[in-house]
A and B are shown apart, each in its own frame.
Chain A
């Protein structure tokens, strides 16, 4: 088989621009962006992932990519699809993660499950983002947050062959790298920290406290996370709970955890929210914030809420960006190097 060497270097995002900002057209845009050895490594890590979960008794499942339901998240843009063949054109969403369907399976009593699935997120494009990507997602009933963290540490060791991951709270991560308490500091204090650290602040950035926390996370904290070995950050601010349970500490924190390695965010886990009405309330809040940001409303009612009313077992779940994991394992610095057809070549 003829395999183009360094195919990516000659095309796509790395091509110089013409005057009007368009990419120059080149004859070899049909070629993969990744070199063959990286795709071989992809296959090897997929096999290792399946082996890891098989050994621990997880059931591999597959759920629909297209669904009438979608996660309502302030910051995730689902891609819609219209089925024209039906009598009335039907609108379906490509999943932003397999979360809704997998939790419906958990509610039906399937036990520990995992899935290697494609997820789609509109508008995400860059060295660490691609509109379509591979997500490994797993759930284990009866796991507390600590058990979920322990399992993620094991997975990281098995896949990346690194030392065991460190663990630190979100608060400690901010105290250490930004010298501010992210749970108690108000917006003006966070703005002060950003200014003092010469962070470039977008004009009219607004006063959403979580936007400021995210800015400090991206600029001051994340680049330092997991430099030597992977690190798991846990106990997120309650305002960033997403679908995690909130623990009534003082101040309350979300039982949410994330994995970072070499400054790259790799996985997000929750001690899962079980309360259907709370889920519904969070979706409504997310929609209100979407509206304020000029984004479209997403459907609040879905079959996960029904499933949770019937009873979701206590569990912890994790979603991991497989392409990023592969990128770090390969020592590459862009997803283009590890995805067969990255970006515009899809």
Chain B
């Protein structure tokens, strides 16, 4: 099993702590000028999402997590679960609503997502940063109102509601930032 030593520590590593996979979200090196160094990792549990802070002394090492990232395509929803397919080998994976979290709002047919596998089981998906969605329903906006600071809820094809400027109409396509859930712009077909 691969290990990381304190000199390898950095943001982005995927490590195994007490039998669970973590993503290093912050790595810090602290040392009194004439004293012993402490390496601190802030990690997010890749399964449960909890945050863990750990200190290490110089030269300590930790196990790398058996984590793999693959490209997957969203196929369909099955009850509370979401079914994806590995685009390389067509293997299918099911994620629970809890694992998908708020990202269900951006899952339309064939959306390509990054999927993280831990010991070959899916644990998270990340949709592309920007995604184009079709507006299914909204209240009509006032004619000629091009102001972007007046917003209204708009229902898109995935069933999610996105706050959009008042000028957005039914049937139009909008680009959304999946990291913030915010409207970016209208898109021509």
Contact = CB atoms under 8 A, between A and B. Distances in A.
Interface string A121-137: 00111111100000000
A75 B10 contact: no
Contact of A210 (B33, B36, B40, B69): B36
A114 to B, nearest CB: 18
Nearest to A126: B29
Contact of A265 (B28, B33, B69): B33
A33 interface: no
A217 B57 contact: no
Interface string A285-326: 000000001100000000000000000000000010100000
Contacts of A16: 12
Nearest to A20: B12
Interface in B151-185: none
Interface in A1-48: 13, 16-19, 21
A197 interface: no
Contacts of A184: none
B59 A202 contact: no
B11 A202 contact: no
Contacts of A201: 55
A268 interface: yes
B69 A128 contact: no
Contact of A218 (B13, B30, B59): B30
Contacts of A210: 35-36
Nearest to A208: B36
Interface in B5-36: 7, 10-13, 28-36
B98 interface: no
Interface string B32-70: 111111101000000000000111111110000000010
B28 A202 contact: no
Interface residues of A, number: 41
Q: For the complex, would chain A's binding face be called helix, strand, loop or mixed by DSSP majority? A: loop
Interface string A74-85: 011000000000
A13 B28 CA distance: 12
Interface range on chain B (Cβ under 8 Å from partner): 20 to 34
Contacts of A293: 58-59
A123 B29 CA distance: 10
Contacts of A129: 29, 31
A128 B30 contact: yes
Residue among B28, B32, B33 with max Cβ neighbours from chain A (10 Å): B33
A187 interface: no
A321 B11 CA distance: 26
Interface in B74-127: none
A174 to B, nearest CB: 13
20 contacts: A13-B11, A17-B10, A21-B10, A21-B12, A124-B29, A125-B29, A199-B55, A200-B53, A200-B54, A200-B55, A202-B54, A205-B57, A208-B36, A211-B57, A214-B36, A214-B38, A217-B35, A218-B30, A218-B38, A268-B33
Interface of B: 7, 10-13, 28-38, 40, 53-60, 69
Given A21-B12, A200-B40, 15 more contacts: A18-B12, A21-B10, A21-B13, A123-B58, A124-B29, A127-B28, A205-B57, A208-B36, A210-B35, A211-B57, A217-B32, A218-B31, A258-B33, A265-B33, A268-B34
Kindly list the 4 A-B residue pairs having the minimum CB-CB distance in the complex, ordered from nearest.
A17-B12, A126-B29, A214-B35, A200-B55
